[in-house]
Amino acid sequence: MNQNPLMQMTGLPDFPNIHADHVVEAMRKVLASAREELKRLEDASQPESPEQAWDVVIGELEALMDRIHQPWGVVTHLLGVRNTEALRAAHAEIQTEIVALSVEMSQSQAMYQHFCRLRAAGSDSSEVKRRILDSQLKDAQLSGVALDGPDRQRFRVISERLAKLSTQFSNNVLDATKAWSLLLSTPQDVQGLPESYLAMAAQSARSQGHPEASAQNGPWLLTLDFPSFGPFLRHSRRRDLRKRAYMAYITRASSGERDNGPLIDEILALRRDKADLLGFESYAALSLETKMAEDVDAVRAQLYALLTASRTQAERELQEIEALARDDGHDIPLRQWDIAFWAERLREKRYALDEESLRPWFPFPKVLDGMLNLSSRIFDLRFEDRSTEVARWHEDVRYYIVTNLAGEPRAAFFLDPYARPAEKRGGAWMDECLGRSARMGSKEAPRLPVAYLVCNGTPPVDDKPSLMTFREVETLFHEFGHGLQHMLTTVDEGLASGIRNVEWDAVELPSQFMENWCYDKATMAQISGHVDTGHPLPDDIFERLRAARTFRAASAMLRQLDLALVDLALHHEHRGELSVQQVRANVGEQTSLLTPLAEDRFLCGFSHIFAGGYAAGYYSYKWAEILSADAFAAFEEAGLSKDAEIRAVGLRFRDTVLASGGARAPMQVYEDFRGRQPSTEALLRHSGLT
């Protein structure tokens, strides 16, 4: 009997029993079987019936892709949440073979001809089938199906190398993040840091070999993991230590054996080569072929319009914190490691609001329950905690079944909420465990979707639950929004269900939409409850929190525009004549209010564009934010305090934006919900820029 759990993927993965030594054996067998299946599919004759032809080609292709994705998806997921040297080695050994087969499938002339015959036979009679067939044809074209001989082989080599570099980039960032720490041992070292931070830092110190560490007496461990690094920059009165931590953060993975600098140069060069092979002006132009935005000029026009709207206001915001620092006796000009600290002091002064002091009102269990209650209220859903009934990769992971009001299952999700710097990469993300599919289901019902929701929130300390910052609350809502789009799809064609086949610059719409609910009074009453008393966040504090929503909003927008424009510059104009640092500096002349630091190597840790899916697509956050703000405005117009009206709009949002998956063009889906094209008014209003 075969005991390899990666080869028994008939349901939820058996996470605790999946180990690195299972990977190569399982995936080699899967790939060998897949190649045989691909050959059979290539040689198959299409039936005359369009419906039968669709099932023979697209149906079998979906099944083939699913058999590969199931085990490999688990491996890549575990690499992100349970990273080990052995798993890295196994992943690296097999990754090239995975990419090679993927390119081989996309470049298959026989499959391309199958798609063309389906089109000619009228098999794409429905909108979802047209979208899927268009996607398959475009994927083949963008994978070099028309290339011959050396160019075709070069394309495969580039694809394999880029996949390897992406993984190496991510691993370097993870290793560099966990390699740096600073032990704080005296009361002077922790001046200004709140009690909740000291408790967390002492717990970190205990985990790293200091059993005597306590919140009162230390020592305390500072790390580059964001629940540690972020609050330290906002609250530490030790400017020298803020600088030390900041410099460590912006130089992560930029030296020694973990240096991502050479990887960036190679990644960009290979992407340019890929675009050249396919006849595109740049990699950005290639990337936009599968996005909503029409072309690079359209993206740039949007970004510069927002830059014009925010630059002057951002300059005023900087002057405000400079004035506060000057009044407090600080020598200006401020440096990069000062901004978060003095901005927090201004926020406290203006709104009588201290972010750290809000933590007790946001215990993770209360926030999670409140978020699920909101989804029940506006989307007619129910959630059942089944964590003890399934295999999980860590004891902190939760598992929920999602049902409709009648108790019929709709989906499920795993939630991994807390940071684990030793084994889990930073950031937050949603990914697919299982996708909805009629073909992969039973005769009675389709296979239901299951999502991974992964955050890096503040972990529980001692006997207290995780006490979240408001930013962590927003992040949880954000990832849950992604999860809702994956889970609430009603599309039965597996190649267009959930987030599949959704243009990348539309995929942030549901996630950013959900963040808006954190500023809704009724929702706040549900997600807040003081850890000691259970009382919700007082109304006066909530009103100050809502007023503070636009605090330094222009500066935050400027930061996002800087990253989006750097991404665009690197992937469009940049041809290697300048260094990537010079490209970033040139963009910074328009977007940065402080003189850039010569030592800044932030790009070496910019995983979104070098190890994620946002290459030439970071603009998507702002592009989709216009949609998400305008979508939430529909609820505002209905009246946020009116339950019946809100539920009606919520069901319409559920049945359009969340249900449609990749079966319809995103703008058509949006117009189905809103009845018109999106307006920028709501985004500018929410940002305080009108």
Q: For the chain, what's the residue count?
A: 690
Of 252, 283, 316, the domain-final residue: 252
Residue 245, in any domain of the structure: yes
The residue written with tokens 């990666």 in the block is 6
Catalytic annotation present for 104: no
Say yes or no: 54 and 138 in one domain: yes
Q: Residue 592 in contact with residue 562, Cβ under 8 Å?
A: yes
Q: Which one-letter DSSP state was computed for residue 359?
A: G
| pLDDT, averaged in runs of 10, over the chain (690 residues) | 78 94 96 96 88 92 95 97 96 95 95 93 88 96 94 96 97 95 97 94 95 96 94 96 98 96 98 97 96 93 91 95 94 92 95 90 98 97 97 97 96 97 92 96 95 96 93 97 98 96 93 97 97 96 94 94 97 92 94 92 97 93 92 96 96 98 95 94 83
Residues 202 and 137 in one domain: no
Residues 128 and 197 occupy one common structural domain:
no
Domain end (from 252, 273, 298): 252
Helix (H) or strand (E) holding 452: strand 450-457
CB atoms within 10 A of CB 129: 21
Counting the structural domains of the chain, the total is: 3
Verify that 431 and 487 share a domain, yes or no. Answer: yes
Whether 106 is covered by a domain: the verdict is: yes
Residue written as token pair 């927002």: 306
C-alpha Rg value of the chain to the nearest Å: 25
Q: Which residue in 479, 493, 508, 515 is the catalytic one?
A: 479
Residues 659 and 518 in one domain: yes
Same domain flag for 524 and 458: yes
Domain that holds residue 449: 360-552+622-686
Q: At what angle do helices 20-43 and 60-81 cross, to 10 degrees?
A: 160
Q: Residue 74: which CATH number?
A: 1.20.1050.40
Q: Give the C-alpha separation, 114 to 107, whole Å.
A: 12
CB-CB contact of 472 with 458 (8 Å): yes
The pLDDT value recorded for residue 611 is 95
- Looking at residue 101, its pLDDT comes to 96
Could you count the other beta carbons within 10 Å of the beta carbon of residue 655?
15
Residue 373, token pair as written in the block: 């209650």
Whether 435 and 532 map to the same domain: the answer is: yes
Q: Which domain-ending residue is among 188, 219, 252?
A: 252
User: Are 117 and 46 a contacting pair, CB within 8 Å?
Assistant: yes
- Give the pLDDT confidence score for residue 1 in this predicted structure: 42
User: Has residue 57 been placed in a domain?
Assistant: yes
304 inside domain:
no
Task: Give the chain's largest Cα–Cα span.
Answer: 83
DSSP 528-595: ---TTT-PPPPHHHHHHHHHGGGTTHHHHHHHHHHHHHHHHHHHTT--SSS-HHHHHHHHHHHH-SSP
Model pLDDT, residue 376: 97
Q: Are residues 142 and 185 in the same domain?
A: no
Domain presence at residue 77: yes
Q: Is residue 426 part of a domain?
A: yes
Both 199 and 243 in one domain: the answer is yes
The answer as to whether 282 is a domain residue is no
Based on the fold, state whether residues 395 and 489 are members of the same structural domain: yes
Q: Are residues 367 and 477 in the same domain?
A: yes
Q: How many CB atoms lie within 10 A of CB 637?
A: 11
Q: What is the CATH number of the domain that holds 504?
A: 1.10.1370.40
3-class secondary structure per residue, 459-504: CCECCECCECCHHHHHHHHHHHHHHHHHHCCCCCCHHHCCCCCCCH
User: Do 535 and 664 share a domain, yes or no?
Assistant: yes
Q: Assess if residue 381 is contained within a domain.
A: yes
Report helix, strand or coil for 455. strand
At 588-630, the pLDDT tens digits run 999 999 988 999 999 999 999 999 889 999 999 988 999 999 9
Burial code (b: 16+ CB inside 10 Å, e: under 16) for 162-171 equals bbebbbbbbb
